[in-house]
C-alpha cells in the first residue's frame, strides 16, 4: 500500500505541474502564433491522458477499505479535473495550428494580462550569459519571471537541463508581471531592447474591442485564480476558500454570457468571420478551467477529507502553497503590496488575504497589508522562505 500511495503522489504531482505548464504554453502559442509551442501543448495533453489512465489503474489496484475508497475517489475527481484543464488548453492550441485569424482583442488581452508571457533574447554583454540551467529555473534570478522554455538553434528546449549554460542569442520564453519582464529584458539586452507589441495599436481599438479584451482578460485571470484557490482549499481543507471558488465559477458563467452578448452585437465589425472562432474558444476554455477548479473545491464543500497524499503533492510541487500571519511589528504591515515588489524579488505572489472574518482573493497592488493579516502565498520553495523574511511573518502549519 505504501508503494501504491507513493505512485499516486508521483502521478498527481506530475499531472498538476504538466497542466499548469500546458496552461502557460497554450496562451504563449496564441500570443506569438507559434505552431511549435501549440504542438507541445498537444504532447502535454497526450501525456496527461496517459497519467489519468495510470491514476485510475493504481486506485483500482489499491484494494482500499470503504473509508480509503472515498478518499481515493476524491483523488480521481482531482485527476479528471486536471485532465479537463489540459483538454481546454489543447483546444486553444488547435486554433494556432489551424491558423485561424487572431482578433486584436485577443492580442491585447494577452499583452496586458496580470501575468505577461514574453520572449526575451539574450544579447552580447548580458549578465545572464553563462548562467546555469539550475539558476535559470529560479524566478529570483530572472527578476521574478518564470522560464517556460528556451530556444536555441531554432529549437525549443522545455525541460532545461541543470548543466546547460545561457548563451548569446538564446531566446527565453518567460511568464511574470510586466514590471518583472521589463527588468529581465534590461538584464538580457546588453544595451539594446526589442519589445513585443501587438500589431494593432491600442489607440486604434474601438470601445467594443477594448471591452472584449478586458472581459477576456478577466475571464482568464478568474479561471487561473480559481484553479490555484481550489488547490489551497483542498490543502487546508478550507470551506471558505472552496465557497469562493464556487463564487468565481458563477462569476465566470456570467462573464461568458455577457461576453457573447457583446461579441454577437459587434459581429458586423469583424474583418473576417473566422475571427469568431478563437474569441469563442478562449471564453469557453476559461469557463471550462473554472468548472474544473470547482470540481476540486467542491470536494471540500461536500466534506470529503483530502487523501494524505494530496498534502505531499502540494508540498513537493514545483509551486508550493504557504500560509503565514503578519505579526505585530512586521515590516510589511502598513505597506501596499505593489510597494513591496514581492513577486519581482522572490517569484512569490499573494493568492489571498484573510483579515478577521473576511477574505480578499487575488488582492491588487494597491491593497494595504495590516498586522494580523493571514496571507496565502504561492511560489517556489526557495522563494517562499525569502518572501516570509521580506514580509516579516510567521508560517502557520
DSSP string over 244-265: HHHHHHHHHHHHHHHHHHHHHH
* Rounded distance between C-alpha atoms, residue 143 and residue 180, angstroms: 5
pLDDT given for residue 13 in this prediction = 81
pLDDT given for residue 3 in this prediction = 45
Q: Which residue has the cell 494593432?
A: 200
Q: Is 328 exposed, middle or buried (0-12, 13-18, 19+ CB in 10 A)?
A: exposed
CB atoms within 10 A of CB 126: 21
Q: Is 267 exposed, middle or buried (0-12, 13-18, 19+ CB in 10 A)?
A: exposed
Q: Which residue has the cell 480521481?
A: 76
Distance between the two ends of the chain, CA-based, in angstroms? 27
* Rounded distance between C-alpha atoms, residue 61 and residue 68, angstroms: 13
Query: Mean pLDDT score of the chain, rounded to an integer?
Result: 83
Q: Which residues contact 254 (CB under 8 A, 6 or more apart)?
A: none
Of 93, 114, 100, 76, give the one whose Cα is nearest residue 37: 93
* Rounded distance between C-alpha atoms, residue 383 and residue 350, angstroms: 12
* Rounded distance between C-alpha atoms, residue 176 and residue 347, angstroms: 8
Helices (H), the chain: 2-32, 35-61, 66-97, 104-111, 133-136, 178-189, 207-236, 239-265, 276-301, 308-316, 337-340, 342-346, 381-391
Q: pLDDT tens across 155-205, in order?
A: 889 888 989 999 999 999 998 887 788 888 888 886 554 555 555 455 566
Bridge partners (DSSP) listed for residue 172: 120, 150
pLDDT given for residue 183 in this prediction = 86
Domains and CATH numbers, the chain: 2-109+203-312 (1.20.58.220), 124-189 (3.30.70.1450), 319-395 (3.30.70.1450)
Length of the chain: 397
The grid coordinates of residue 3 equal 508503494
pLDDT given for residue 65 in this prediction = 59
Instruction: With a cut of 50, list the residues of the chain below it in pLDDT.
Output: 1-4, 193, 200
Bridge partners (DSSP) listed for residue 236: none
Q: Which residues contact 182 (CB under 8 A, 6 or more apart)?
A: none
CB atoms within 10 A of CB 109: 26
What value, to the nearest 5°, has the Cα angle with vertex 42 and ends 298 and 221?
45
Say what the pTM is: 0.78
pLDDT given for residue 259 in this prediction = 94
* Rounded distance between C-alpha atoms, residue 67 and residue 228, angstroms: 27
Amino acid at each position: 500500500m505504501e508503494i501504491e500511495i507513493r505512485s499516486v503522489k508521483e502521478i498527481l504531482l506530475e499531472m498538476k505541474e504538466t497542466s499548469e505548464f500546458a496552461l502557460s504554453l497554450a496562451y504563449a502559442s496564441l500570443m506569438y502564433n507559434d505552431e511549435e509551442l501549440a504542438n507541445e501543448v498537444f504532447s502535454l495533453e497526450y501525456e496527461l491522458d496517459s497519467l489519468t489512465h495510470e491514476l485510475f489503474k493504481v486506485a483500482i489496484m489499491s484494494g482500499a477499505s470503504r473509508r480509503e475508497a472515498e478518499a481515493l475517489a476524491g483523488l480521481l475527481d482531482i485527476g479528471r479535473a486536471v485532465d479537463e484543464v489540459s483538454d481546454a488548453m489543447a483546444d486553444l492550441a488547435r486554433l494556432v495550428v489551424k491558423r485561424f485569424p487572431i482578433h486584436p482583442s485577443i492580442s491585447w488581452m494577452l499583452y496586458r494580462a496580470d501575468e505577461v508571457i514574453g520572449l526575451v533574447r539574450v544579447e552580447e554583454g548580458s549578465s545572464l550569459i553563462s548562467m546555469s540551467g539550475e539558476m535559470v529555473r529560479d524566478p529570483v534570478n530572472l527578476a521574478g519571471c518564470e522560464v517556460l522554455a528556451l530556444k536555441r538553434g531554432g529549437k525549443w528546449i522545455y525541460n532545461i537541463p541543470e548543466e546547460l549554460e545561457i548563451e548569446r542569442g538564446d531566446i527565453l520564453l518567460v511568464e511574470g508581471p510586466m514590471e518583472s519582464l521589463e527588468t529581465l529584458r534590461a538584464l538580457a539586452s546588453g544595451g539594446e531592447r526589442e519589445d513585443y507589441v501587438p500589431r494593432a495599436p491600442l489607440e486604434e481599438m474601438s470601445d467594443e474591442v477594448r471591452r472584449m479584451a478586458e472581459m477576456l482578460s478577466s475571464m482568464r485571470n478568474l479561471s487561473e485564480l480559481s484553479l490555484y484557490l481550489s488547490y489551497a482549499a483542498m490543502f487546508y481543507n478550507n470551506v471558505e476558500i472552496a465557497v469562493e471558488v464556487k463564487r468565481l465559477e458563477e462569476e465566470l458563467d456570467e462573464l461568458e454570457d455577457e461576453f457573447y452578448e457583446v461579441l454577437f452585437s459587434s459581429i458586423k465589425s469583424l474583418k473576417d468571420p473566422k475571427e469568431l472562432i478563437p474569441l469563442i474558444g478562449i471564453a469557453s476554455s476559461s469557463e471550462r478551467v473554472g468548472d474544473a477548479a470547482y470540481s476540486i473545491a467542491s470536494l471540500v464543500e461536500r466534506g470529503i477529507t483530502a487523501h494524505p497524499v494530496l498534502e505531499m503533492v502540494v508540498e513537493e510541487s514545483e509551486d508550493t502553497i504557504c500560509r503565514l500571519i503578519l505579526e505585530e511589528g512586521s515590516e510589511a504591515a502598513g505597506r501596499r503590496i505593489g510597494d513591496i515588489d514581492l513577486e519581482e524579488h522572490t517569484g512569490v505572489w499573494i493568492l489571498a488575504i484573510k483579515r478577521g472574518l473576511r477574505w480578499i482573493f487575488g488582492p491588487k497592488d494597491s491593497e494595504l497589508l495590516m498586522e494580523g493579516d493571514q496571507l496565502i502565498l504561492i511560489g517556489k520553495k526557495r522563494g517562499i522562505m525569502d518572501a516570509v523574511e521580506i514580509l516579516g511573518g510567521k508560517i502557520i502549519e
